[in-house]
Amino acid sequence: MENFSFYSPTEFVFGRETENECGKYVRKFGGTKVLIHYGSGSAVKSGLLDRVKASLDAESIPYVELGGVQPNPRDTKIYEGIELCRREGVDFILSVGGGSCIDSSKGIALGVPYDGDFWDFYGTGKRVEKALPIGTVLTIAAAGSEGSGASVVTKEDGMLKRDVGSDLLRPRFSILNPELTCTLPPYQTACGATDIMAHVFERYFTNTSEVEITDRLCEAVLITMVKEVPRVIADPMNYEARANIMWAGTVAHNDIVGVGRSQDWNSHKIEHELSGLYDCAHGAGLAVVMPAWMEFVMNHNIMRFAQAAVRIWGCEMNFEKPEETAMRGIRCFRRFLHDIGMPINFAELGAKSEDIPVLVEKLGLGDRKTGGFVSLSSDDVAEIFRIAANAEL
C-alpha cells in the first residue's frame, strides 16, 4: 500500500425529503447570501427549486439564481456566475442539479475570489488558494462531484474539456434524496450508473500490490451496481434501488475505495475527447471506451482482470486459461452496459471511425505517453478507439 492522505469533510445528508433541510445546512456552514445554481428546467418544473427556496426563506437567507447549466458545463456560464456573485455579494453557492451543475458551481466558487481568469486552474495543475463554500442538492447519481474536490469544465472555444482538483472545492454539505432521481429517464440513469462504475474501475486497475482492503471495497461498490442498476432500469420508481445506487455513486468517487494505490483514469481522459467532440453524455462515452481500454491493457495483468471477472461478474475461474476468464469479465461488462441501454460502439454512440485521428489529435499527447495502469501513446489511444469503434457483444 502506498502512503496517502484521505480527507472527505463533506456532511452527507441522505434520504427522503432531505432537500427541505438545505437552508438549515447553509446556515450551519456560514452562508449569508446564496447563489442557487441549477441546470435544466426539470428542477423548476418538479417543484424542487421551490422547496429549496422555501427552506432558505425559512432561515431568512437571501439568494440570487442562475440556471441554464448544460451537460458538459461551459466556461461561458461560469463567467456569468462569477460576475453575478461579485455583483450581489454572494458568499455561498448552492448547487441544485447533477455533476455538471456542481462542477460549474465549483468553477464559480474558485473564480469569485481569484483576480485572474478562472480557466487558469483547469488542466494546468495551478493550486487553488481560495474558494467560496459550496453546498449541493443532488438530482442524479453519477459524477460523484457531490463528494469530490474535482471539477470538469468545457471551454466553448475549441470544446476543450479540462479539470481541476482541490480540497477547497469539496462541498461543505451534500443533500442526497434518492426520490429526486426516480423521475430520471432510463438513458440518463444508465449513463450515470456507467460513470459510477467507471470511477471504481479507474481505481481498481492498479499497479500497487497488497491492497486487499481497497480491492474489496471497489468490488463492493461494483457488485452493488451490478445488482441494483437493472432494477431501476426495469422499475425507475424503485426507491431502495435508487438509494443504493446514489450512495454507491458517492462512495465510488470520494476516494475511500481508491486510497493507497496507483490509479488509471485513462478511460476518462480518452472519453473526454468523445464527449468534447460529439457532445454526447459522458457515461455513454465511457460505455464505449472503457471495455475497449480493458481489452487493450488486459495482458498487462491477466490475473487482476480474472479477479474482476470472478469477484464482480461471478465468472468461474478457468485455472488453465486465466486469460479466458479475464476476457469473459470484460464481455460481461459490455453485455451489462448493453442491457441497461448504453451504446457499446461508435455507431451506437453516434461517433465516426474516420474521426479517430481528430480525437487523438485533440487529446494532444504528441510523442508523450499518458501514464496509469499502462502508459499509452497516441498510437495506443488510436487502437483503443478502433477497438471501441468496432465492438460487438
Q: Which is nearer to a copy of itself, 252 or 306 (CB)?
A: 252
Question: In the complex, what is the shortest distance from the CB of residue 55 to a copy of itself, in angstroms, rounded to a whole number?
Answer: 16
Binding stretches for a copy of itself (CB under 8 A): 1-16, 18, 178, 209-214, 216-217, 219-221, 223-224, 227-228, 240-241, 243-244, 247-248, 251, 256, 259-260
Distances (CA, A) of 9 to 12, 35, 211, 393: 9, 22, 24, 42
Nearest-angstrom CA–CA distance, 153 and 71 = 10
Question: In the complex, what is the shortest distance from the CB of residue 323 to a copy of itself, in angstroms, rounded to a whole number?
Answer: 25
Q: Is 299 exposed, middle or buried (0-12, 13-18, 19+ CB in 10 A)?
A: exposed
Question: In the complex, what is the shortest distance from the CB of residue 104 to a copy of itself, in angstroms, rounded to a whole number?
Answer: 25
Q: Reduce the DSSP state of residue 96 to 3 states and report it.
A: strand
Question: In the complex, what is the shortest distance from the CB of residue 320 to a copy of itself, in angstroms, rounded to a whole number?
Answer: 22
Beta bridge partners of 175: 13, 137
Question: In the complex, what is the shortest distance from the CB of residue 225 to a copy of itself, in angstroms, rounded to a whole number?
Answer: 9
Nearest-angstrom CA–CA distance, 25 and 171 = 11
Q: Which is nearer to a copy of itself, 67 or 260 (CB)?
A: 260
Q: Which of 182, 88, 170 is nearest to 136 (CA)?
A: 170
Alpha helices for 117-178 (secondary structure H): none
Q: Which is nearer to a copy of itself, 90 or 259 (CB)?
A: 259
Question: In the complex, what is the shortest distance from the CB of residue 331 to a copy of itself, in angstroms, rounded to a whole number?
Answer: 23
Locate 157 and state its grid cell: 472555444
Q: Reduce the DSSP state of residue 186 to 3 states and report it.
A: helix
Q: Which is nearer to a copy of itself, 11 or 50 (CB)?
A: 11
In a 13 Å sphere around the CA of 34, the CA atoms on its Cβ side amount to 28
Nearest-angstrom CA–CA distance, 265 and 252 = 14
Q: Which is nearer to a copy of itself, 317 or 382 (CB)?
A: 317
Question: In the complex, what is the shortest distance from the CB of residue 224 to a copy of itself, in angstroms, rounded to a whole number?
Answer: 5
Q: Which is nearer to a copy of itself, 218 or 349 (CB)?
A: 218
Q: Which is nearer to a copy of itself, 74 or 172 (CB)?
A: 172
Run of H or E including 85: helix 75-88
Q: Which of 66, 51, 65 is nearest to 177 (CA)?
A: 51
- 199: left (phi > 0), else alpha (psi -120 to 50), else beta? alpha
Q: Which is nearer to a copy of itself, 29 or 79 (CB)?
A: 29
**Local structure of residue 373 (DSSP, 8 states):** S
Distances (CA, A) of 135 to 66, 73, 108, 141, 324: 15, 18, 13, 16, 46
Asked if 158 and 118 count as a contact pair (C-beta separation under 8 A), the reply is no
Locate 384 and state its grid cell: 483503443
Question: In the complex, what is the shortest distance from the CB of residue 128 to a copy of itself, in angstroms, rounded to a whole number?
Answer: 16
Q: Which is nearer to a copy of itself, 8 or 318 (CB)?
A: 8
